[in-house]
Amino acid sequence: MSDIQLSPSEMARYARHIAIPEFNVEGQRKLKGAKVLVIGSGGLGSPLLLYLAAAGIGRLGIVDFDVVDESNLQRQVLFTVDDVGKPKADTAAERLRKLNPHIDIRVHNTRFTSENALDLVAQYDVVADGTDNFPTRYLVNDACVLAGKTNVYASIFRFEGQVSVFNYPLEDGSRGPNYRDLFPEPPPPGLVPNCAEGGVLGVLPGIIGSLQASEVIKVITGVGDPLTGRLFLFDAASFTTRILKVAKNPATRIEELIDYELFCGIQPDEEIAVPEIQVSELKTWIDRGADFQLIDVREAYEYDIANLGGTLIPLGTIAERAKQIDRNKKVVIHCRSGKRSADAIRELQHLYQFDNLYNLKGGILAWSKEIDQSVPTY
């Protein structure tokens, strides 16, 4: 790293790093020479990107195709109310450039897919996974294994978080355990809700994302012992931590990228379509006093924030409470975005052969946008 030099301004900026004997100028040069790809700029990505940018990572890549939503602001500290509706990746890059003008920020305003994963990963030295769904986690892992890149992983849910370092190069030339060694198979679809459905304590991503940033820095500089072969678990509710050992599984084979939606049991929408109505049509039904039943399959706390006056039957109880659903009239089922309500309809159709159910396309979000903007989208 002797060919990478720090300017006087950078020497002053990173003085507290350089003052650490184990770190010094050489460690800072390694950071400047490093290229890190961060998948996702949301809950985990926000603190991760902020601290990696502040630390002086030479090139930061951001992969995110989403836009900022008001409900993000409870935990995604990269963004402000002025950013609502803007692309996350572009907005994050703008903020990071103001934080540290000495680094190179690359924006990849796209979905991370099997088609572009290997090309994106190949451009960077280390990958940091800040995603919130199983198909993308397996895709990130497999792309890193195939490309020979270290994957610094983290995940969060409600009060709990976990961190590990996968596919880390070992002294004997081999690689440490990867995500598939820990989780060979994904959980059944719907068993583990995402943050939007299950919730997350706002400060938890800050804690876990900061630990993830620390592991990235350790991997790059060689300072300290990375969490390879170990899984760190944190519970904010009880303030307890555990470290579990992760061993390599000789049976693990990753030879190519696959269809990760299918692997995780998620069928393409077009193959499992359900009858839908638009929010404008529902509004017409309501205004005309049409005879129909409205079912809300969100959680009780969501219903308290915003509702359309429907009967609350959370998705997890829909099968056991099927008798509450009228078979003799049209039934509109809705949730926040339309996904859970579609899942509810498929379950009811499969178990009880309902043929009078309609999914409210776009759910509460579409109602708030197109019909009544006073309805919170949380």
Residues with a catalytic annotation lie at: 195, 335
User: Which positions ≥6 away from 234 have C-beta within 8 Å?
Assistant: 160, 161, 162, 163, 207, 208, 211, 240, 241
In this structure, the dihedral spanned by the alpha carbons of residues 319, 324, 327 and 329, taken in order and rounded to 10 degrees, is -130
User: Which positions ≥6 away from 55 have C-beta within 8 Å?
Assistant: 14, 17, 31, 213, 217
Whole-number Cα distances in Å, 171 to 165, 168, 175, 176: 15, 10, 9, 10
Whole-number Cα distances in Å, 183 to 165, 166, 180, 248, 327: 14, 12, 5, 11, 41
> Cα–Cα distance between 14 and 354 in angstroms, integer?
64
Question: What does the block give as tokens for 32?
Answer: 């400047």
> Cα–Cα distance between 45 and 210 in angstroms, integer?
9
Provide the pairing of β-strand 230-235 with 160-166. Answer: antiparallel
> Cα–Cα distance between 123 and 256 in angstroms, integer?
19
Whole-number Cα distances in Å, 297 to 71, 199, 341: 19, 16, 6
Q: How far apart are the first and last CA of the chain?
A: 47
Exposed / middle / buried, residue 153 (Cβ in 10 Å: 0-12, 13-18, 19+)? buried
